[in-house]
Amino acid sequence: SQTIHQWPATLVQPVGSPLSLECTVEGTSNPNLYWYRQAAGRGLQLLFYSVGIGQISSEVPQNLSASRPQDRQFILSSKKLLLSDSGFYLCAWSGPGSTSGTYEQYFGPGTRLTVT
């Protein structure tokens, strides 16, 4: 069965510090991978998605970046955090479009980031 991991679960970082959040998926190959951010009590904002190694699509221009160094690894980074970067960061995967007809997404447990 497929499993998605995210770490850390919670993180408190000062303004201006760097950020690196990691997401890994087990039990599937060539997944589509997604990074979302959720502000407290709000909806899901798609930040980045990837359909393959090294292929990143950015949805919202901001001080965040994403990378996919391996098939089942997705990393969210920032060089300098802003107060507005606080939120609940969720990684998700779905089957690749060529072999899956459903596209439902499976979410990791998330990382709660507080920028102080």
Partner 1 sequence: GQQVMQIPQYQHVQEGEDFTTYCNSSTTLSNIQWYKQRPGGHPVFLIQLVKSGEVKKQKRLTFQFGEAKKNSSLHITATQTTDVGTYFCAGKTAAGNKLTFGGGTRVLVKP
**Cis link prior to 96 (omega < 30° from 0)?**
no
Q: Kindly tell me the burial class for residue 50, based on how many C-beta atoms sit within 10 Å of its own C-beta (0-12, 13-18, 19 or more).
A: buried
Residue 67 vs 88, nearer CB to partner 1:
88
Residue 7 vs 17, nearer CB to partner 1:
7
13 contacts partner 1 (rule: CB under 8 A): no
Nearest Cα neighbor of 50 from 64, 37, 31, 78 is 31
Which residue is listed with tokens 């991978």? 33
Which 29-68 residues touch partner 1, going by CB under 8 A?
32, 34, 36, 41-44, 46, 49, 51, 57, 59
Residue 14 vs 101, nearer CB to partner 1:
101
Residue 16 vs 109, nearer CB to partner 1:
109
CB of 79 to partner 1, least distance (A): 25
Q: Which of 10, 79, 80, 103 touches partner 1 (CB under 8 A)? A: 103
106 contacts partner 1 (rule: CB under 8 A): yes
Handedness of CA 73, 44, 19, 3 (dihedral sign): negative
Amino acid (1-letter code) at residue 58: S
